[in-house]
């Protein structure tokens, strides 16, 4: 292991920001950056050696490879984290457009919603089956549904998600508004007791592998689509009409009163899904 990779690992171990998944993604991204800097001729580097020329060399390579703007933005966020931790936050501008990285386009009116359907019957692992049901009922991410601890989360009229379960370590709540949600929680209580949906003899990573294998064997793919389905159902419950992605009227076709309803619904759904920016709801709902 070269000095840069070693010192970046040490930096990550001293600064455990975010969830385990976030930390693992950051370490993979920074290890890749270290290798690519070495390939670009920058040798004898340590984490403290980072300069603007190094960031520019990486950006030039990524853009030259034709990577999607979302991928480049994720890698830049890891570089900013690196720069911040060594006291060089000014190396990279906060605005990606200054680096020539295009803004992500979130707007789409093609639905990616997915229901569990009969595929759930093919899932033989009880904990995986329960995680999938919770994803469908509450719009949870995979990690959140695997780490879910019903004895902690169930607060009567809502569920509370720990920061250690969520993307970015952001705690959040999701209201319980349907009998399907309550039924799913009752089943989760019976299965997990005071524990989580990770069996006592497994780690999170081991159970995630079980989850992925079970979904593949059952012919279930793109389980993130369960979040899309939750968002679209929630939008219809809040506004009384389906969202654009599910065949509802476009935002430009709404009356002034309906536009206010639309905005409030998107703000609510954004919070429940754990997104900081309301604009991201366009991925789930259309526009």
**3-state SS of the chain: helix, strand, coil percent to 5?**
60, 5, 35
**pLDDT tens-digit profile, the chain (287 residues):** 789 999 999 999 999 988 888 888 899 999 999 999 999 999 889 999 999 999 999 988 888 887 777 888 889 999 999 999 999 988 888 887 777 776 665 556 777 778 887 788 899 999 999 999 999 999 999 999 999 999 999 999 999 999 999 987 889 999 999 999 999 999 999 999 999 999 999 999 999 999 999 999 988 887 888 999 999 999 999 999 999 999 999 999 999 999 999 999 999 999 999 988 888 899 899 98
**Amino acid 96: pLDDT:** 79
Report the alpha-carbon distance of residue 266 to residue 117 in Å, rounded.
26
Residue with tokens 């060089």: 88
Which pTM does this prediction carry? Answer: 0.68
Say if residues 84 and 119 touch (Cβ distance below 8 Å).
no
Where b means 16+ CB within 10 Å and e means fewer, 120-133 reads eeebebebbbbbbb
Report the alpha-carbon distance of residue 134 to residue 128 in Å, rounded.
10
Q: Tell me the per-residue pLDDT of 212-253, one tens digit each, with 9 for 90 and over.
A: 999 999 888 878 889 999 999 999 999 999 999 999 999 999
- Coil/strand/helix, residue 149: coil
The Cα-based distances of 236 to 7, 185, 211 in angstroms read 50, 23, 30
């Amino acid at each position: 292991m070269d000095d840069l990779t070693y010192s970046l690992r040490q930096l990550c171990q001293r600064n455990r920001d975010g969830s385990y998944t976030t930390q693992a993604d950051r370490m993979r991204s920074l290890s890749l950056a270290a290798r690519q800097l070495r390939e670009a001729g920058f040798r004898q580097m340590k984490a403290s050696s980072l300069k603007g020329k190094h960031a520019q060399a990486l950006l030039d390579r990524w853009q030259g490879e034709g990577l999607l703007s979302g991928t480049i933005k994720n890698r830049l966020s890891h570089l900013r984290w690196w720069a911040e931790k060594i006291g060089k936050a000014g190396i990279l501008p906060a605005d990606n457009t200054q680096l020539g990285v295009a803004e992500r386009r979130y707007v789409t009116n093609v639905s990616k919603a997915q229901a569990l359907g009969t595929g759930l019957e093919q899932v033989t692992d009880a904990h995986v089956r329960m995680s999938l049901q919770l994803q469908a009922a509450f719009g949870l991410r995979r990690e959140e549904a695997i780490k879910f601890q019903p004895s902690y989360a169930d607060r009567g009229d809502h569920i509370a998600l720990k920061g250690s379960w969520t993307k970015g370590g952001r705690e959040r709540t999701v209201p319980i508004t349907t009998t399907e949600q309550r039924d799913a929680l009752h089943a989760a209580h019976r299965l997990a007791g005071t524990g989580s949906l990770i069996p006592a003899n497994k780690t999170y990573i081991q159970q995630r592998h079980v989850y992925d294998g079970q979904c593949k064997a059952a012919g279930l793919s793109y389980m993130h689509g369960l979040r899309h389905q939750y968002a679209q159902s929630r939008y219809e419950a809040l506004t009384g009409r389906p969202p654009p992605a599910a065949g509802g009227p476009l935002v430009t076709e709404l009356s002034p009163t309906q536009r206010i309803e639309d905005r409030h619904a998107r703000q609510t759904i954004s919070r429940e899904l754990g997104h900081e920016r309301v604009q991201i709801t366009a991925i789930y709902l259309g526009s």
